[in-house]
Amino acid sequence: MKVITILGSPRRKGNSSSIARVFSEKAQSLGAEVFTYHLNTMGFRGCQGCMACKETLEHCVLRDDLTEVLDAIHGADVLVMASPVYYHNVSGQFKTFLDRTFSFLKPNFFGRPDPCRLPPGKKALLIFSQGQGEDAYQYLTEQYAFFMKAYGMEPPRFIRAVGLSESSTAEDRQAFAEEAQALAQEWCEGETGR
């Protein structure tokens, strides 16, 4: 199993990054091949709206640090994406990455039965950490489930790590980390059981 982990927090040891790391470490311990990308350390630009990926190319026209990430996602079995919720949405780094995944979609994607260039059936886990409680920002799960469906992925799983702040400790994140570990075990064991 190949796992691609995208860390959208500017903090390497922040809440969302730490929970994603728990998933990745557990998956790796069970034999998965894991590749992790910390977006804040990478050099990349946002989508240029040029439509080259729909008119002349089958990939994003930009060549920068995200090129490797977008290519790696094609061959992944599992995509883990983690971001804190800043100002009512994902981090700017994560949103810029997601905008570039527009290149996964084929021309006229709304009107065709095979809208995406990715192989279908990938698993996706999205980890969102936030200071506010469970009732805040629920719309993010619906919004990002829409993208994963468009990309032909299985219905995504979400870990909403609520009530955390920049001073949260591993103990504060424990329940969310355990959820991540259990999911890594479920998916890795499911892969080996095929």
- Supply the pTM of this predicted model: 0.95
Give the pLDDT band of residue 192 (cuts 50, 70, 90).
Answer: low
**pLDDT per residue as tens digits for the range 81-104:** 999 999 999 999 999 999 999 999
Examine the pLDDT at 51 and tell me if it is beyond 80. Answer: yes
**pLDDT per residue as tens digits for the range 150-184:** 999 999 999 999 999 999 999 999 999 999 999 99
Convert the chain into a string of H (helix), E (strand) and C (coil). Answer: CEEEEEECCCCCCCHHHHHHHHHHHHHHHCCCEEEEEEHHHCCCCCCCCCCHHHHCCCCCCCCCHHHHHHHHHHCCCEEEEEEEEECCEECHHHHHHHHHHHHHECCCHHHCCCCECCCCCCEEEEEEECCCCCCCCCHHHHHHHHHHHHCCCCCCEEEEECCCCCCCCCCCCHHHHHHHHHHHHHHHHHHHCC
CATH 3.40.50.360 fits 2-192, yes or no: yes
Sequence ranges of the domains in the chain: 2-192
